[in-house]
Structure formats: structure tokens, C-alpha cells
């Protein structure tokens, strides 16, 4: 049985559900949208017990709390039931309310935005389906207005805003409350995971097979129609390690040299992100400071594991968290790792190389 302070609770249609055989609650920058997957089982399909009272269905509004803390506000997207002669099982999937930006397209008559910032465009586009958009931490350059951008027919709302995020070197993640946050770089954090202490198992991949040494974004400045060099500005960034060739690409939107530098930086940061991938499992749901790991997303974390790393200790960024609990596996948390500057860096926080 799980401890009283480590229980997942779903509230939907005024009903409270807290009896599960297996739970999984995930938050991830790559996946963007938060999800929960919960399974309940009974040993007999004839017993009118927990499952008979489990009336959740796709479309129902729902909230999920872990250890009494709200982590997800959204709706049921999945109900899967199975029955045979000896057991009865139901699986419930819940997605954050932000899921609608993935499945809905821009308006039938695509809009155009003139001299508008990413914050203004994101709020307008997502706001039409009830999803908030907020740029967190005031990353440099993110407030530069776009001279003119247009939605594309058939383009999802997420794809449209993600395209613009690339031009301002920011990424998006779910806030769990029905909104989307745009950000750049890790936040402060001091958690330490040590082999032989609070590390149950782990996997870390370091690779540079898709690495380029230089990234150059080229484009056209909408504010300059002259035939001089300023008509075709560019931005270039270098990425460690200093080996490999150059990746040259066309920017998605018209931009001056400042904005093309942001676009080049974004591509370079994506290269850094792909250099490191890993996940480690720790006991329980709580970080050393007593907070849920769920709220440690984007924080820096130090891993001390001579068995996993070429150096005994390296620092990473938390790109995803999955809380798990089951009768067989107990209560654990999977922490997904990336290079600590894989989503860029904003401000003067010092970086420690991960390779």
C-alpha cells in the first residue's frame, strides 16, 4: 500500500478517485503536454466494487493531485476497459487542457500579424481555444516584434507558435494548469543524485553523430529592400566540441541580423540537446528538499555516478519527470536528462561543460 502522503487523486464530475493499482504522471519539454495514466483492477468482473463506480469517460474535466499537490488540470482523453473470466481492468488517460493546441488548426481564414511580439501572437492564437501563453523569465530578444507573420492553412496552433519560438530561441512546456510557458535555459537548482545512495538505476547517452560545429541561419530583412548586403543578413553560432562541419539553413521568417542570430542560436542549442540523453530512477516522488520532482522541471541537477559517466560527476538539466507507483514497482520517479544548456542559456548563470 502507498503511504498516505504519496497518493494520486483524480477529481472529476465532483467525484474523488484514489484507488489505483498503477499510476504514471508525466511532464516533459519534448512532449510539451502533461499526461497522467492510471489503472485500476478488480479480481472479479461480477463484483460491484471500484470499477463499477469508475464512470470517467473521454471529455470529462479532471484534476490530478500527487501527495495533495495539484499537478495537472485537464480532461480525460482515454478510457480502456478489459474483462475476462478472472479479472476486470480499466485504464484512464488524462491530458492537460493545453492538449487542444496540438489537435486544433488555425482559423479557416489564416490570420496575419503585423509588428506583433511573440507574447502577443501566442496569447491571441492559443487564447482562441482557452489556453494561456506566457514567456517566462524575459529571455533576451524574445520581445522583438515580428514585422509580419502569417498562419498557414492546416497548420496546428502549436506548430504555428513553435515556428515563431524558433525565431526567438525559446521552447515551450506545459504549466499543468491549462497554459503553455515559453522559456530559454535552465533554472537554478542544486539537487544531487549519487550512485549507491539515491540512484536506483540509470541510463545516460553521450553522442555527437548529428553534431555540426557551426550553424548559420540566412534570410531576408523585411525592413530593407535595398540591394546591399543587409538585404540578406545571417546569424552564426558555434557549438562544442569544436569538430565537424557547418550547417546552413533558411530561417522560417523574415528577420534582421539580430533575429537571425537568435534563430542560429536555437539550432545550436538543439544540437547541444541531442548530445545528451538519459534517464535515472530515484525512490519516491520527492526531491531532497521535500518538493515533488514534478516541480523541478528545467532545473539543473548534478549526477555523481562513476559507472554512468566518463567523469565521476557531471551537471545536467531536467527535461522531463515521470512519477510512477504500482503494486509491483513501488513509488519511484524517472528523471529525464539533457545537456544543461540544451535549451539555451539566459542570464549570467555559469555553465559547466557536460562533455
Residue 108 to residue 153: CA distance in whole angstroms = 7
> Of the given ranges (69-73, 93-97, 223-227), which has the lowest mean pLDDT?
223-227
15 near 55, Cβ under 8 Å? Answer: yes
Enter the C-alpha cell of residue 335. Answer: 528523471
pLDDT of 99 > 90? The answer is yes
User: What superfamily does domain 104-183 belong to in CATH?
Assistant: Baseplate protein-like domains (3.55.50.10)
Mean pLDDT, rounded, for 12-26:
88
The CATH classification number of 8-96 equals: 2.30.300.10
pLDDT of 318 > 70? The answer is yes
pLDDT of 228 reads: 53
Domain residue spans in the chain? 8-96, 104-183, 187-208+275-339, 214-261
Mean pLDDT, rounded, for 286-300:
94
Domains 8-96 and 187-208+275-339 share a fold: yes
The torsion defined by the Cα of 328, 20, 335 and 36, in degrees rounded to 10, comes to: 140
pLDDT of 164 > 70? The answer is yes
Q: Which helix (H) or strand (E) holds 162?
A: helix 157-167
The CATH classification number of 187-208+275-339 equals: 2.30.300.10
Mean pLDDT, rounded, for 3-32:
87
pLDDT of 178 reads: 85
pLDDT of 354 reads: 40
Q: pLDDT class for 186, splitting at 50, 70, 90? A: very high
User: Across the chain, how many H-helices and E-strands are there?
Assistant: 4, 21
Long-range contacts formed by 310-317: CB under 8 A, 24+ apart: 310/206, 314/352, 314/354, 315/340, 315/352, 315/354, 316/276, 316/278, 316/340, 316/354, 317/186, 317/341, 317/342, 317/343
pLDDT of 153 > 60? The answer is yes
Mean pLDDT, rounded, for 131-147:
95
pLDDT of 220 > 50? The answer is yes
Q: Mean pLDDT in the chain?
A: 89
pLDDT of 6 > 90? The answer is no
Task: Give per-residue pLDDT as tens, 227-257.
Answer: 454 567 999 999 999 999 999 999 999 999 9
Long-range contacts formed by 37-41: CB under 8 A, 24+ apart: 37/78, 37/91, 37/92, 37/93, 37/94, 38/8, 38/10, 38/91, 38/92, 38/93, 38/94, 39/89, 39/90, 39/91, 39/92, 40/89, 40/90, 40/92, 41/87, 41/88, 41/89, 41/90
Q: pLDDT class for 113, splitting at 50, 70, 90? A: very high
pLDDT of 75 > 90? The answer is yes
Q: Which helix (H) or strand (E) holds 265?
A: helix 257-275
> Of the given ranges (10-24, 76-90, 212-226, 256-270), which has the lowest mean pLDDT?
212-226
pLDDT of 350 > 80? The answer is no
pLDDT of 279 > 70? The answer is yes
pLDDT of 2 reads: 61
> With pLDDT > 70 as the criterion, what percentage of the chain qualifies?
90
Enter the C-alpha cell of residue 254. Answer: 523574415
pLDDT of 18 reads: 83
Amino acid at each position: 500500500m502507498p503511504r498516505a502522503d504519496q497518493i494520486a487523486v483524480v477529481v472529476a464530475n465532483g467525484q474523488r478517485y484514489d484507488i489505483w493499482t498503477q499510476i504514471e504522471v508525466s511532464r516533459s519539454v519534448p512532449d510539451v503536454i502533461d499526461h497522467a495514466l492510471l489503472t485500476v483492477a478488480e479480481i472479479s468482473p461480477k463484483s460491484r466494487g471500484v470499477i463499477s463506480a469508475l464512470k470517467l469517460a473521454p471529455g470529462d474535466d479532471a484534476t490530478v493531485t500527487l501527495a495533495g499537490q495539484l499537478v495537472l488540470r485537464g480532461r480525460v482523453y482515454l478510457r480502456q476497459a478489459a474483462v475476462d473470466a478472472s479479472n476486470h481492468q480499466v485504464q484512464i488517460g488524462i491530458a492537460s487542457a493545453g492538449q487542444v493546441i496540438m489537435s486544433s488548426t488555425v482559423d479557416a481564414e489564416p490570420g496575419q500579424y503585423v509588428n506583433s511580439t511573440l507574447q502577443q501572437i501566442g496569447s491571441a492564437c492559443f487564447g482562441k481555444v482557452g489556453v494561456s501563453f506566457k514567456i517566462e523569465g524575459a529571455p533576451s530578444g524574445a520581445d522583438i516584434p515580428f514585422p509580419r507573420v502569417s498562419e498557414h492553412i492546416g497548420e496546428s496552433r502549436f506548430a504555428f507558435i513553435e515556428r515563431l519560438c524558433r525565431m526567438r530561441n525559446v521552447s515551450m512546456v506545459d504549466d499543468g494548469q491549462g497554459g503553455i510557458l515559453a522559456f530559454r535555459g535552465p533554472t537554478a537548482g542544486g539537487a544531487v543524485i549519487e550512485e549507491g545512495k539515491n540512484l536506483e538505476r540509470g541510463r545516460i547517452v553521450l553522442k555527437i553523430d548529428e553534431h555540426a560545429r557551426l550553424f548559420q541561419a540566412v534570410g531576408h530583412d523585411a525592413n530593407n529592400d535595398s540591394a546591399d548586403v543587409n538585404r540578406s543578413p545571417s546569424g552564426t553560432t558555434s557549438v562544442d566540441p569544436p569538430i565537424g562541419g557547418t550547417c546552413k539553413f533558411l530561417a522560417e521568417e523574415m528577420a534582421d541580423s539580430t533575429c537571425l542570430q537568435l534563430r542560429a542560436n536555437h539550432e545550436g542549442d538543439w544540437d547541444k540537446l541531442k548530445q545528451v540523453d538519459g534517464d535515472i530512477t530515484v525512490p519516491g516522488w520527492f526531491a531532497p528538499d521535500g518538493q515533488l520532482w514534478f516541480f523541478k522541471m528545467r532545473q539543473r541537477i548534478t549526477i555523481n555516478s562513476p559507472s554512468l559517466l566518463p567523469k565521476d560527476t557531471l551537471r545536467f538539466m531536467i527535461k522531463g519527470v515521470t512519477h510512477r507507483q504500482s503494486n509491483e514497482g513501488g513509488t519511484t520517479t524517472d528523471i529525464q536528462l539533457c545537456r544543461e544548456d540544451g535549451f539555451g542559456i539566459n542570464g549570467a548563470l555559469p555553465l559547466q561543460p557536460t562533455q
